[in-house]
Structure 1
Amino acid sequence: MPAKRSKHLTSAAPTTTHNPGVALRALRRQRGWTLAEIGARTGLPISTLSKIENGKMSLSFDKLTRIAQGLEVDIGELFSSQSPVGNDTFSGRRSITRAGEGYAIRTEHYDHLYPASELLNKRLVPIIAEVHARSLEEFGELIRHTGEEFALVLEGVIELHSELYAPARLEAGDSIYFDSAMGHAYIAAAPGPCRVLAVCSGGESHLRDAMLRQNGAEAARPAAGRGARKPRADDA
């Protein structure tokens, strides 16, 4: 029986077509751009971009969105070799993501797991996030991105902080639907794992402005399975 796979961005990321660093180099060369030009478009240092291309640096969601925005592509194109599929025609496409599979991005305050990552230009973007921040002070600046968002708490207790409302305390099984252009932050409000399924409207491109100040990329626990813990990169 084939082993389940979960693609995680680490300092030893594999050099495959699903590696954003490889995709970045290919897109840059295809367009005839230098690292300096990509740096000007993304606001990232040339040294950082070089490390990303060579698989020597972990990618946070911040860096991924900046690169996607600078290259004017959907985030999915940075980790998928599939050709884009139009959203306005019937395509009959579908995607099944087994437990433990998906594309994982490790950020300072969340571990993001993206199901159906091989499908580009999705109207809905599902994200399974394990929340690490335990206070708004720890989280920092609120996230904003165009569209709307539905969130269902899978495990633990979450506090959703937002610009216009008092913090909402949500336990496992509770859900919330809100305008994601309103600044917001998911905060872990109970000991132990806190996981949430967030479904964002508008496709990956609508997430490009999210978490622009969330620059940390930690080797943290992936949200791969209920109650499961995979080794951290620094556990050795």
Structure 2
Amino acid sequence: MTPSADDDGDRSPAGGAADLDGLVAGVGARVRALRSQRGLTLSELADATGLSASMVSTVERGRTAPSLGTLARLAQGLGVSVASLFAAAPGEGSPVLRAADQIVDTTPGGLVRRLAVFQPDNDVEVYVDEYPPGTSHAARPSQHPGQEYGVLLEGSLEVELGDEVHLVEEGDAVHYEAKQAHLIRNTGGTPARAVWVNVRRL
């Protein structure tokens, strides 16, 4: 991830360093987002990749430029391509992050999830979730710090909170403490679409 000799010769050394710092920070932010999305601890991701927990933490905090081998291990452990680890951010001077630049992946439960907003400094994640029939947000109930807020745009979902199951239909909103075991699933015959917000999970 070191700039090559073929880089634009008009770029100043300071600008190149700033670009590299931004790239490293973006990779770290994306690794952290994907790990958090999958409900993995640092130790669990470290075990899955063969890296140390301290190395994973250092990458997530943007303190080191990971080698291609490290990126490959992280991508494999997270179940994504290496290319998907390079985070996009709104263009300079723009508050807009284009849909084409947002993280899209599929969870182990079959949910197709797009990370529309990721602001670790503000502890906020906003997802646009697509649930094909028979899918769920995870393979099993998950628990983590923070609060979750959801608004169902289309279809219906079951939200399992501990021993209780709540039916959420189009236009309904739901909120719960994420430390409570929860599982969100589409048991119907039509797709469901929702916006989900995680606060203070990271």
Q: 1:175 to 1:186 in 2, by over 3 A?
A: same
AA in 1 matched with 2:156: V
**Equivalent position of 1:115 in the other structure:** 116
C-alpha contact (below 8 Å) 2:49/2:77 kept by paired residues: no
The structural deviation recorded for 1:170 is 1.0
**TM-score of the superposition, structure 1-length normalised?**
0.48
Between the aligned partners of 1:41 and 1:59, the Cα distance in structure 2 is: 6
1:46 corresponding residue in structure 2: 50
Rounded Cα–Cα distance in structure 2 between residues aligned with 1:54 and 1:97? 26
Per-residue deviation, residues 109-149 of structure 1 (Å, max 9, x unmatched): 222211134x442332111122247278x964201111111
Structure 2 equivalent of residue 127 of structure 1: 127
* Aligned 8 A contact 1:151 1:197 in 2: yes
Q: 1:61-92 deviations in whole A, cap 9, x for unaligned? A: 7x9xxxxxxxxxxxxxx64477xxxxxxxxxx
**Contiguous gaps of at least 5 residues in structure 2:** 1-22, 32-41, 57-67
Q: Contact 1:152–1:175 (CA<8 Å) still a contact in 2? A: yes
Unmatched segments (≥5 aa) in structure 1: 1-16, 25-37, 64-77, 83-92, 206-236
Larger radius of gyration: 2
- Once the two structures are superposed, the pairs formed by residues 1-236 of structure 1 within 5 Å of their partners are 17=23, 20=27, 42-46=46-50, 53-54=71-72, 60=78, 79-80=86-87, 95-99=95-99, 101-109=101-109, 110-117=111-118, 119-132=119-132, 134=134, 140-165=139-164, 167-202=165-200, 205=202
Contact 1:95 1:116 in 2 (8 A): no
> CA separation in 2, counterparts of 1:193 and 1:153?
11
3-state SS, counterpart of residue 151 of structure 2: strand
Following superposition, the deviation at residue 173 of structure 1 comes to 0.9
Query: How many Å separate the matches in 1 of 2:113 and 2:77?
Result: 12
CA distance in 1, matches of 2:200, 2:44: 26
> How far apart are 1:98 and its partner, in Å?
4.2
Question: How far did residue 94 of structure 1 move?
Answer: 7.7
Quick one: higher RCO (CA 8 Å, sep 6+), 1 or 2?
A: 1
Q: What is the CA RMSD across the aligned residues, in angstroms?
A: 4.1
User: Judging changes above 3 Å, is the alpha-carbon distance between structure 1 residues 184 and 56 closer, same or farther for their aligned structure 2 residues?
Assistant: closer
Distance 1:41 1:162, change over 3 A: closer
- Compared CA separation, residues 133 and 20, structure 1 to 2 (3 A): farther
The answer to whether the Cα contact below 8 Å between 2:150 and 2:173 also exists between their aligned partners in 1 is yes
